[in-house]
């Protein structure tokens, strides 16, 4: 197991190196603004996100351990979501849901978070456009123009959003929050833009569960795409046709 | 038919000042309640990440829906040419503006960031029915203001029908928009239904007529103006039709849901096992808010009594608030279904019925909105001649209202 992990790590390192080298080659522009290949990797801060990328995640519920909350804890730390001891109003970007099949009694455990839908109901209903989908598929809230109407929370089929119910102190500089505005999982956009994985994914891997795979759904060679091809998976509330960016295997 | 003479309220009586002071006090309390919520954050309310819209939204939606319906009398007179209603058209238009302003203020003051109202006015996402509603609400105020001008200014009277028709169409679009706030929500079991738009239109007719009747009777009786029972009888019949129509639409909504297995859970919740929501639905919305008023309005004994009419109207208002409470809060109390066929549980209350208790600031803010609507109406009637001196052909001094009261009591 250890050696396989190590091997896959080496492979990933190698792939990353090849990818970076390829990206560097692609950076050679034919003419200003025209590139041979657009980037699927981290980009300079002054460059806009690209629609060539669609960030997504696969949750492998068969590997998600009952009672384990590493992903949740990592998220809370990353965003400074220290609870106020008021469960009904405390923010949760990611939560563990325990399921029990009513017929068979089989139990499942899995994380639920913003599903980063392609046609997100929260984006549709937001009156000011504060709720928006970045071109690379990450659904975000612009906290400067969110008026706190909570219509997006009414519209979200996954209960993925929280409202900031109180004054905040000691905020995390990389992910500022705002009292009276709505917030949710950002896929750790501040990390992703620096070529790092979301905190929950990192934490799950660190624990050795490997239940979460993050990556570019548009890149057929990404580890995410490979796993999505290998493992049968589904969208939650697929009936709504939202084309979610988070897929689930084993439930 | 003699020309109608309008007269402002004298506004000299002690009663007028007491009413004014009481309404102003309620408005002030409502404002401070909102301020308290804003300073501390919404955790001081009953609202949460589960019940995201609470009592303020119940009051706001009720008032906005009623605002559209309060225009009924004006519409009937100008669009459908029923001259008997014409003397009341000004009051009808005034009430619709006042109720809409009251409702909107509650909605705005409940926002997480009410000071960003200007953002809502400058950034638009036109796929959002909320954004459309901002135009519909503001536009409605403008359209009715022009309509009032056409009614007040004799030289403009000839445009009254056109302005009235525009307002008539606008209010249907407006209430369609308000109903669609819920109708367009695909996520929740109780919403995502096209019937929401027509249901809200019918609700507006019912609630608006009830409030109009109450204000009409109060304004005439408290200022000692003669009020013909003929017009009240017509309004009473209208109210009865509207209340019946709301019942019919409610029935159609639930029957459709009951047919679809997918919605059995939420129907069982609202109709049978929802605790407070089941009680509010059956006792307040259906029995007290619909059936009892219908019995009063259709009963040969009570239907001639002005007091009974007032009682029926009050019951319709209570039933209306109950209906909006069930629609907004009952629907959120029922958990989202993420995994059909599974029992769900989490620290975020997945799979659990969400509890909600209205908090004092929420209720006070909502009452403040009603008070503001009435305050606007009371002040406007003092400043401009909205009320006719009399209604009906009987000479002044005829004690017909008293006769009606005697019959009632």
Per-residue tokens: A239: 């009936």
Residue range B228-255: mean pLDDT, rounded: 96
Question: Which pLDDT belongs to residue B302?
Answer: 84
B128 CA: distance to closest CA in chain A (Å): 4
DSSP A27-73: HSEEETTEESS---S---TTS---TT--EEEEEETTTSPTT--HHHH
Nearest residue to B72 via CA among B226, B215, B250, B247? B215
> Is residue B406 predicted with pLDDT exceeding 80?
no
Nearest residue to A184 via CA among A152, A218, A219? A152
Question: Which pLDDT belongs to residue B47?
Answer: 98
Question: Which pLDDT belongs to residue A10?
Answer: 55
Closest-CA residue of A relative to B113 is: A147
Per-residue tokens: B14: 């002690």
| Closest Cβ–Cβ partner in B49, B111, B345 for A148 | B111
Question: Which pLDDT belongs to residue B251?
Answer: 97
Q: How far is CA B230 from CA A162, A204, B235, in A?
A: 54, 75, 9
* The Cα angle at residue A235 between residues A229 and A238, in degrees rounded to 5: 130
Range with the lowest mean pLDDT among A19-28, A166-175, B113-122, B157-166?
A19-28
Per-residue tokens: A32: 């200003």
Query: Strand, coil or helix: what is A226?
Result: helix
Nearest residue to B134 via CA among B146, B122, B145? B122
Burial (CB count <10 Å: 0-12, 13-18, 19+), residue B116: buried
Residues of A numbered 15-74 whose beta carbons fall under 8 angstroms of chain B's beta carbons: which are they?
Answer: none
Chain A contact probe: residue of B55, B186, B189, B357 with most A CBs at under 10 A? B186
Question: Which pLDDT belongs to residue A32?
Answer: 43
Confidence of residue B304 (pLDDT cuts 50, 70, 90): confident
Alpha-carbon distance B147 to B74, whole Å? 10
Question: Which pLDDT belongs to residue B4?
Answer: 86
Per-residue tokens: A187: 């896929």
Burial (CB count <10 Å: 0-12, 13-18, 19+), residue B220: buried
Question: Which pLDDT belongs to residue A90?
Answer: 97
Question: Which pLDDT belongs to residue A47?
Answer: 82
Residues of B numbered 230-289 whose beta carbons fall under 8 angstroms of chain A's beta carbons: which are they?
Answer: none
8 A C-beta contact, residue A215 and residue A223: yes
- A161 contacts on B by Cβ (under 8 Å): 49
Residue range B39-48: mean pLDDT, rounded: 97
Question: Which pLDDT belongs to residue B10?
Answer: 87
A179 touches chain B (CB under 8 A): yes
| Closest Cβ–Cβ partner in A97, A101, A240 for B346 | A97
Per-residue tokens: A198: 């979301």
Question: Which pLDDT belongs to residue B112?
Answer: 97
Query: Strand, coil or helix: what is A8?
Result: helix
Closest-CA residue of A relative to B43 is: A165
Chain B contact probe: residue of A59, A142, A161, A180 with most B CBs at under 10 A? A180
Question: Which pLDDT belongs to residue A46?
Answer: 79
The domains of chain A, with CATH numbers, are: 1-37 (no CATH), 47-249 (3.30.70.20)
Question: Which pLDDT belongs to residue A15?
Answer: 57
> Is residue B207 predicted with pLDDT exceeding 60?
yes
What's A239's DSSP letter?
G
Chain B contact probe: residue of A85, A106, A119, A127 with most B CBs at under 10 A? A127
- B114 contacts on A by Cβ (under 8 Å): 147-148
Could you read off the pLDDT of B62-106 as tens digits, one per residue? 999 999 999 999 999 999 988 889 999 999 999 999 999 999 999
Could you read off the pLDDT of B328-387 as tens digits, one per residue? 999 999 999 999 999 999 999 999 999 999 999 999 999 999 999 999 999 999 999 999
8 A C-beta contact, residue B229 and residue B286: no
Query: Strand, coil or helix: what is A170?
Result: coil
pTM of the model as a whole:
0.90
- What is the domain partition of chain B in residue ranges? 6-392
Q: How many CB atoms sit inside 10 A of residue B125's CB?
A: 19
Confidence of residue B12 (pLDDT cuts 50, 70, 90): confident
Per CATH, the homologous superfamily of domain B6-392 is Formate dehydrogenase/DMSO reductase domain (1.20.1630.10)
Question: Which pLDDT belongs to residue A83?
Answer: 87
User: Which parts of chain A have pLDDT scores under 50?
Assistant: 1-5, 26-40
Range with the lowest mean pLDDT among A129-138, B31-40, B222-231?
B222-231
8 A C-beta contact, residue B177 and residue B133: yes
Give the residue with greater pLDDT, B293 vs B402: B293
> Is residue B404 predicted with pLDDT exceeding 50?
no
8 A C-beta contact, residue B27 and residue B169: no
Residue in this structure with the two tokens 């209208």, named with its chain if needed: B238
* Residue A108, H or E segment: strand A107-113
Cα B104 to chain centroid distance, Å, stands at: 12
What's A207's DSSP letter?
T
């Amino acid at each position: 197991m250890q050696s396989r992990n190590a091997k896959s790590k080496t492979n990933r390192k190698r792939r990353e190196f090849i990818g970076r080298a390829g990206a560097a080659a692609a950076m050679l522009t034919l003419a200003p603004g025209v590139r041979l290949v657009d980037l699927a990797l981290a980009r300079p801060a002054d460059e806009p996100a690209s629609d060539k990328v669609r960030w997504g995640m696969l949750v492998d519920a068969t590997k998600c351990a009952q009672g384990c909350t590493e992903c949740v804890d990592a998220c809370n730390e990353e965003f400074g979501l220290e609870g106020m001891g008021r469960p009904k109003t405390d923010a949760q970007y990611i939560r563990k849901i325990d399921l029990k099949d009513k017929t068979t009694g089989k139990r499942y455990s899995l994380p639920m978070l913003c599903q980063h839908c392609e046609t997100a109901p929260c984006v549709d209903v937001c009156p000011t456009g504060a709720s928006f989908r970045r071109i690379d598929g990450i659904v975000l809230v612009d906290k400067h123009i969110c008026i706190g109407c909570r219509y997006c929370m009414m519209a979200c089929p996954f209960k993925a959003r929280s409202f900031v119910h109180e004054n905040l102190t000691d905020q995390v500089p990389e992910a500022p929050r705002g009292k009276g505005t709505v917030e949710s999982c950002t896929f750790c956009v501040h990390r992703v833009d620096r070529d790092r994985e979301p905190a929950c994914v990192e934490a799950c891997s660190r624990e050795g569960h490997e239940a979460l795979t993050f990556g570019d759904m548009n890149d057929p060679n990404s580890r995410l795409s490979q796993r999505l091809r290998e493992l049968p998976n589904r969208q939650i509330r697929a009936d709504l046709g939202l084309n979610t960016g988070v897929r689930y295997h084993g439930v | 038919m003699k020309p109608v003479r309008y007269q402002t309220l004298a506004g000299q009586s002690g009663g007028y000042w007491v009413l004014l002071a009481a309404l102003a006090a309620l408005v002030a309390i409502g404002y401070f309640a909102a301020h308290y919520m804003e300073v501390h954050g919404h955790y001081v309310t009953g609202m949460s990440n589960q019940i995201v819209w609470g009592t303020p939204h119940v009051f706001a939606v009720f008032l906005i829906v009623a605002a559209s319906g309060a225009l009924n009398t004006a519409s009937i007179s100008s669009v459908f040419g029923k001259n008997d209603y014409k003397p009341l058209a000004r009051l009808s238009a005034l009430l619709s503006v006042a109720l809409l302003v009251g409702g909107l203020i509650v909605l705005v003051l409940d926002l997480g960031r009410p000071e960003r109202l200007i953002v809502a006015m400058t950034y638009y996402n036109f796929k959002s029915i909320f954004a459309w509603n901002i135009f519909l609400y503001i536009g409605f105020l403008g359209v009715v203001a022009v309509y009032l001008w056409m009614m007040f200014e004799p030289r403009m009277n000839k445009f009254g029908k056109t302005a009235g028709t525009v307002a008539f169409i606008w209010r249907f679009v407006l209430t369609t928009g308000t109903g669609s706030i819920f109708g367009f929500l695909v996520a929740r079991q109780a919403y995502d239904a096209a019937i929401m738009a027509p249901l809200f239109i019918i609700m507006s007719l019912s609630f608006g007529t009830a409030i109009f009747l109450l204000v009409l009777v109060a304004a005439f009786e408290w200022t000692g103006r003669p009020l013909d029972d003929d017009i009240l009888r017509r309004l009473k019949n209208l109210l009865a039709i509207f209340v019946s129509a709301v019942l019919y639409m409610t029935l159609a909504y639930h029957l459709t849901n009951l047919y679809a297995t997918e919605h059995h859970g939420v129907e069982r919740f609202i109709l049978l096992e929802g605790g407070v929501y089941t009680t509010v639905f059956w006792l307040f919305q259906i029995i007290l808010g619909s059936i009892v008023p219908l019995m009063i309005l259709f009963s040969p004994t009570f239907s001639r009594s002005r007091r009974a009419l007032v009682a029926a109207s009050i019951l319709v208002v209570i039933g209306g608030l109950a209906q909006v409470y069930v629609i907004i809060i009952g629907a959120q109390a029922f958990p989202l279904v993420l995994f059909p066929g599974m029992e769900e549980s989490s620290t975020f209350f997945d799979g659990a019925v969400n509890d909600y208790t209205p908090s004092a600031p929420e209720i006070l803010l909502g009452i403040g909105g009603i008070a503001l609507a009435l305050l606007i109406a009371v002040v406007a009637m003092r400043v401009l001649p909205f009320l006719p001196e009399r209604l009906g052909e009987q000479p002044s001094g005829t004690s017909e209202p008293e006769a009606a009261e005697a019959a009632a009591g």
